[in-house]
Amino acid sequence: MSCAVDVRALEYRYPDGQQALRGVDLHVTHGERVALLGPNGAGKTTLMLHLNGLMRGAGSVEVAGLAVGRDSLHELRMRVGLVFQDPDDQLFMPTVEEDVAFGPLNMGLDRDAVAERVDEALAAVRMRHVAGRAPYQLSMGERRRVAIATALAMRPAVLVLDEPSANLDPRARRELLEVLARIDRTMLVTTHDLPLAAELCERAVILAAGRVVGDGPCDEILADAELLAAHDLELPAGFDLDRIERRAPA
Amino acid sequence: MDLTGTAGDPASRIHRLDPRAKIIALLGITVVAVSTPLEHWPVYVACAAALAACAALARVRPADIGRRVRIVLPLVLLTAVLLPLARSDGLAIFAEVAAKALIGTTSAALLAATTPFTAVLRGLEALRVPRLLVQIAAFMYRYLFVIAAELGRMRSALLARGYRPRHPFHAAPAGRVASALFLRTYGRGERVYQAMLARGYRGTMPYATPLAFGRADALFVAAVVLAVVPVRFVA
């Protein structure tokens, strides 16, 4: 069986000469939820953008059996649901409904199929009631959930989220976590929020200075205080990993 | 921000018309009014009557029109008000400019009151207005609030550190805010574009429902033309 995500020896250097990725290997199997951890500037977002060909470095990237290449870009983007960190970047249409429909329409689906996808995706993030509203009328948490719906509407093989809990108050974060936990899909979650990773993901990968420096079951990675400290990561004070219960998809 | 939304009865015949019909008819009224000299003043009356009829059919209250017109009109009229002081025939010119400005802005206000902004954009695109311009307008509309909020935060940051401009030399930080804002919006533009590509954007905006120009739309355009154009030649 093919991997959901198969990255081999990926290297990327920004035009200004900064080396962002230095030979990243990452293999994610279907249905797995992987937390991608690492300090700022570790290359997490760069790696994410490689997954659907928005950036192209040296090495190979394969998603759901499809290699990233010039000819496969459109097909690839249908398979990878990318959720950007700032929902205002992701939600560019005048209404929520139109925004969620943007991806399915680009897939060439007909009107009924698009309407069904929009409804299904908004229901999955519990945001059906805001379909007709404009993104700027929503709270940060609501916008984040709608942004996830815009990716889900394409029924991607892999859902990739960049810092999904950034700038959320505790209640919005809790709601987001509940929404994400119910989504039954291969997931790659970039985050600094280690408790979120612990609750959501069974596996964690640490990326530092463009390399994978840790990869294993989430509990073990997060319990390794030395490894975390070496890469500027830390659990909140007084946090007890043993009391965390992982949420399985519904 | 109810100024950007529609007003009146959303189920009215006028609201349900194809946006292209409304754009053509209301733009037509404006063009006829603007191209008419003061001697043919009955044309202004015909234009005003046509607009009033549209507003009545759409159940848009005069107050709703008034609120929208109030934003644009003073600017236009300000220049005209000075004319009678400068020239002997100034009063006549003032009357002409005022009538034209009033009819033009009311047409635009009526279009905005009966047609959601996105529908206006789609209508313009279908009327062969360059797609790039339409998309620029669409993104401006979407990001206006985001950018205004960003500007607000930058302004607060200036004030919080004691910025109090007292003479023109103190304007430099405002200039820097403008350039910082430009860079930020530029960066945002890049990210939005990436987000669009990530969802399969290939250069054209996809739409769920096609526009349909039907009999009612043709009738509406014809009625407006008949109400206004003959007067232009008779009067």
Domain membership of residue A40 (yes or no) is: yes
Cβ distance A101 to B138 less than 8 Å, yes or no, reads no
Do B178 and B192 belong to one domain?
yes
pLDDT of residue B46: 94
A171-208 burial, b at 16+ Cβ within 10 Å, e below that, comes to ebbebbbebbbebebbbbbbbbbbbbbbbbbebbbbbb
Q: What is the ipTM metric for this complex?
A: 0.82
Cα–Cα distance for residue pair A206/A228, rounded to 1 Å: 9
Domain membership of residue A249 (yes or no) is: no
Question: In this structure, are residues B3 and B71 in contact, taking their beta carbons and an 8 Å threshold?
Answer: yes
Do B58 and B168 belong to one domain?
no
Scanning A17-110, the segments in alpha helix (DSSP H) are 44-51, 73-79, 87-90, 96-106
Domain membership of residue B42 (yes or no) is: yes
Domain membership of residue B2 (yes or no) is: no
Structure-token pair, residue A209: 């200075």
Domain membership of residue A250 (yes or no) is: no
Do B60 and B156 belong to one domain?
no
Q: Which of A95, A178, A94, A98 lies closest to A141, judged by CA? A: A178
Number of independent structural domains in chain B:
2
Q: Is the pLDDT of residue A250 over 80?
A: no
Count of all residues that appear for chain A in the document? 250
Give the nearest partner residue to A103 out of B138, B191, B199, using CB atoms: B199
Domain limits for position A51: 5-243
CA B214 to chain centre: 25
List of residues 6+ apart from A148 with CB closer than 8 A:
A83, A125, A159, A161, A164, A179, A180, A183
Do B156 and B62 belong to one domain?
no
Interface of A with B in 68-87 (CB under 8 A): 74, 77-78, 80, 82, 84, 86
Question: In this structure, are residues A226 and A205 in contact, taking their beta carbons and an 8 Å threshold?
Answer: no
Cβ distance A111 to B188 less than 8 Å, yes or no, reads no
Question: In this structure, are residues B51 and B99 in contact, taking their beta carbons and an 8 Å threshold?
Answer: no
Domain limits for position B138: 131-198
pLDDT of residue B4: 55
pLDDT of residue A70: 81
- The CATH number of the domain holding residue A158 is 3.40.50.300
Domain membership of residue B206 (yes or no) is: no
- The answer to whether B174 faces chain A, any CB pair under 8 Å, is no
To the nearest whole Å, the CA of A137 is away from the closest chain B CA by: 10
- The answer to whether B145 faces chain A, any CB pair under 8 Å, is yes
Domain membership of residue A47 (yes or no) is: yes
Do B136 and B115 belong to one domain?
no
Average pLDDT for chain A: 92
To the nearest whole Å, the CA of A103 is away from the closest chain B CA by: 5
Structure-token pair, residue B209: 């429902």
Do B116 and B217 belong to one domain?
yes
Tens-level pLDDT at each residue, chain B (235 residues): 344 568 888 888 899 999 999 999 999 999 999 999 988 889 999 999 999 999 999 999 999 899 888 887 887 778 777 777 777 777 888 888 889 999 999 999 999 999 988 889 889 999 999 988 998 888 888 888 888 888 888 888 888 777 777 777 777 878 888 888 888 888 888 899 999 999 988 877 787 777 889 999 999 999 999 998 888 887 6
Number of independent structural domains in chain A:
1
pLDDT of residue A96: 93
